[in-house]
Structure 1
Amino acid sequence: MHEFCNIPTTGVPIGGNYHFSLEPNPTCSIKIGYTTTVTISRPTTNEGLLTFGQWLSCEKWEKFQDAKSSNEKATISQETLLQNYKACFPEKSTKRFSSDRPYITQEVKTIVMEKRWLFRHGNTQQANRLKNKLRKVTRKHVNKYIERKVNHLFESKPSQWYNRIKWMTGKEEKGVDFGINEDDVVTANSLNKHLVNIVQSLPPLLSVEVPTPPPESFDFPLISESQVFFKLKRLKRKSITPVDIPVDLIKAFPDYLSGPLSLLFNQVTKRGEYPSFWKNGSITPIPKEDAPNDFSGVRPITMRPIFSKVYESFVAAWLKDRILDKIDPRQFEIC
């Protein structure tokens, strides 16, 4: 013991004890291999929802209505929503340790720090009260996490549910190592070049004229505000692009968004001008195998603006009504 500790010193009594405490003086320190990550998010608060709802109810959309092209309308509407979303819901950074469980929140960490401070200063009575409070708060966040993450994934995406259960039970997941000893920015740029080279290496489509009968005249119906309202109300929680606002925020205010969106959708249909802003997407690499060690082990998934998907759902319904009776019911695959 003398190799690792010096002679201990006496300290003040702890709590209601009359005996002095001993404070060890180690000669060496052990560094715990915990890693910290700082996560930046925009939490949805009641104050932010109230402020965003007040702005949205008073917005006249003057620049949106003055825009002539569909691309300008789509760009202005998206940028206006995103700008006010960032103003109403400011960023918040959260530091987490690698040993933290997923249900550990800042509220739990604050109670733990207060409890340790009280124990350190001999106030054991209040520390025990915080200990009971800590159990209740932790149990509450555990139930919320299970309801929000585990049960939802079990119904929607069973494969992700299984991976989440393995992670919660402490089983280590194999990481992704592309063999590049560079920072994340350099790795992302290299992966981007790899995916671009794959697309550019594909041969172009042959411009061959296929004889087809003259198309039938078809008048696309107008999209009403009520139809857009129900589409927005039934949106599912999915990943969004960096230019989108959260789906929960769209579902909270569909009555204010359905008006300008119906105008935009009808203009796109009438002029046949699909906004180029909707053609831009955010690419996310998805592993094709466990722990891929090179770029060939991932595949790209493109996410496009959410309002473009809402409009395409109307077009898909129109086409389905036109061609469904002309398709053989026995056909299940295109050869």
Structure 2
Amino acid sequence: MKAKKLAYQATKTNKTAENLAAFKRLKRKYKKEIKKAKTQHIQTLFTNAKSSLQFWKCVKEITGNTATCKIPDLETKDLKARTDKEKADLLSSTFEEAFQNPSLLHKPVTPENKDNWLPPCTEIFVLEKISSVPTRKAPRQYGITVRILKTLSNQVSSSVAMLINRSIIEGVFPDGWKHAIVSPIPKITNSTNTGHYRPISLLPIVSKITESHYFNALYPKINPKLHGEQFGFRKHRSTVDALTYFNIIVTDGMEKAGEIAAKPSTPYHTSR
């Protein structure tokens, strides 16, 4: 870079063919070295990325997409939201209308056999779940950080297991565990339509541990009864599997249609 600047100053002072040629040569070399250094830097970033979090940090650093998207002014047929509070209230009412089912609210579960409904939650399970929660997770509405919970895991694990087991016995999921911080995620950037946002709920950590215990106990019983072509909300299944299955159906159909079209048609004879 210094050599390029000196060559540029030389062309300004004495614009000869030799100085101009030297400046162009150094300019090309400078661009080549910059491109090479950027490539090596990107390769080093992705080589050192050992987790998905580090990988996406690298992507954001390279693309420069590190700023948080600010929600623009929102509008509906009847309302307009300009301030942050108005936007939050409008999105909240939109999410409630889309996802709330009054018939399912506060409906206790009444299992046929309470003695063998769900296995009890153990203190060891709670300890394992607390230790597996990433420390970077943001604190929920009670302000209890993951670091605090991990530090006190040996002291609180037995109490958490006891609360989960009481929830199983009574067949009621506590209302406090249902309270969540809802973050709107835009489907379309800078959209003023409230329907273009989907909610992400940040539930309490204890709630997530309870859900994990329920899932581990119920999934082995429910999974064999699910249809073989259901790909959503199942282990080792994804939308990629659904698209692959659809692609196989379409390809087989096209091949069969091609075989039928390739067969010689039977001549049609008429009697005179």
How far apart are residue 265 of structure 1 and its match? Answer: 1.0
- Cα distance in 1 for partners of 2:71, 2:126 equals 44
- Cα distance in 2 for partners of 1:249, 1:295 equals 36
1:257 corresponds to: 156
User: Which of 51, 57, 60 is matched with 1:163 structurally?
Assistant: 60
- The question of 1:282 aligning with 2:181 is answered yes
- Cα distance in 2 for partners of 1:172, 1:287 equals 16
User: Does the 8 Å CA contact 1:284/1:302 hold for their aligned counterparts?
Assistant: yes
1:178 corresponds to: 72
- Cα distance in 2 for partners of 1:219, 1:203 equals 28
- Cα distance in 2 for partners of 1:280, 1:304 equals 7
User: Does the 8 Å CA contact 2:130/2:149 hold for their aligned counterparts?
Assistant: yes
How far apart are residue 196 of structure 1 and its match? Answer: 3.1
- Cα distance in 2 for partners of 1:221, 1:316 equals 11
- Taking CA–CA contacts closer than 8 Å with sequence separation of 6 or more, which of the two structures ends up with the larger relative contact order? 1
Q: Which amino acid aligns with 1:219?
A: W
2:92 corresponds to: 196
The correspondence of residues 259-274 of structure 1 with structure 2, limited to 5 A, is 259-274=158-173
The correspondence of residues 216-227 of structure 1 with structure 2, limited to 5 A, is 217=113, 218-227=116-125
1:103 corresponds to: none
1:106 corresponds to: none
Q: Which amino acid aligns with 1:298?
A: Y
Query: Are residues 157 and 332 of structure 1, via their aligned partners in 2, closer, same or farther at CA, if it must alter by over 3 Å?
Result: farther
Query: Are residues 162 and 239 of structure 1, via their aligned partners in 2, closer, same or farther at CA, if it must alter by over 3 Å?
Result: same
The correspondence of residues 102-113 of structure 1 with structure 2, limited to 5 A, is none
Structure 2 length-normalised TM: 0.51
* CA-to-aligned-CA distance 1:142-180 (integer Å, 9 cap, x gap): xxxx99xx947x52374454224434xxx7859636248
Query: Are residues 205 and 277 of structure 1, via their aligned partners in 2, closer, same or farther at CA, if it must alter by over 3 Å?
Result: closer
Q: Which structure is larger by alpha-carbon Rg, 1 or 2?
A: 2
Query: Are residues 244 and 265 of structure 1, via their aligned partners in 2, closer, same or farther at CA, if it must alter by over 3 Å?
Result: farther
Q: How many residues align?
A: 174
- Cα distance in 2 for partners of 1:318, 1:196 equals 33
What are the ranges of 5 or more consecutive residues in structure 2 without an aligned counterpart?
1-43, 75-80, 104-109, 234-272
* CA-to-aligned-CA distance 1:244-288 (integer Å, 9 cap, x gap): 422133223321121111111111111122211111111112232
Q: Which amino acid aligns with 2:189?
A: D
Q: Which amino acid aligns with 1:196?
A: S
How far apart are residue 333 of structure 1 and its match? Answer: 4.6
- SS at structure 1 position matched to 2:173: coil
What are the ranges of 5 or more consecutive residues in structure 1 without an aligned counterpart?
1-145, 208-213
CA RMSD of aligned residues (A): 3.8
1:235 corresponds to: 133
Query: Are residues 293 and 162 of structure 1, via their aligned partners in 2, closer, same or farther at CA, if it must alter by over 3 Å?
Result: farther
Query: Are residues 205 and 276 of structure 1, via their aligned partners in 2, closer, same or farther at CA, if it must alter by over 3 Å?
Result: closer
User: Quick check: which one's helix share is greater?
Assistant: 2
User: Does the 8 Å CA contact 2:177/2:204 hold for their aligned counterparts?
Assistant: yes
- SS at structure 1 position matched to 2:184: strand
**Sequence identity (%):** 23
Q: Which amino acid aligns with 1:232?
A: I
- Cα distance in 2 for partners of 1:192, 1:253 equals 34
User: Does the 8 Å CA contact 2:111/2:117 hold for their aligned counterparts?
Assistant: no
Structure 1 length-normalised TM: 0.43
User: Which of 307, 312, 324 is matched with 2:206 structurally?
Assistant: 307
User: Does the 8 Å CA contact 1:282/1:303 hold for their aligned counterparts?
Assistant: yes
Query: Are residues 174 and 333 of structure 1, via their aligned partners in 2, closer, same or farther at CA, if it must alter by over 3 Å?
Result: closer
How far apart are residue 299 of structure 1 and its match? Answer: 2.9
Q: Which amino acid aligns with 2:129?
A: K
How far apart are residue 303 of structure 1 and its match? Answer: 1.1
- Cα distance in 1 for partners of 2:214, 2:154 equals 22
How far apart are residue 204 of structure 1 and its match? Answer: 7.3
- SS at structure 1 position matched to 2:83: helix
Q: Which amino acid aligns with 2:179?
A: N
2:266 corresponds to: none
Query: Are residues 173 and 293 of structure 1, via their aligned partners in 2, closer, same or farther at CA, if it must alter by over 3 Å?
Result: farther
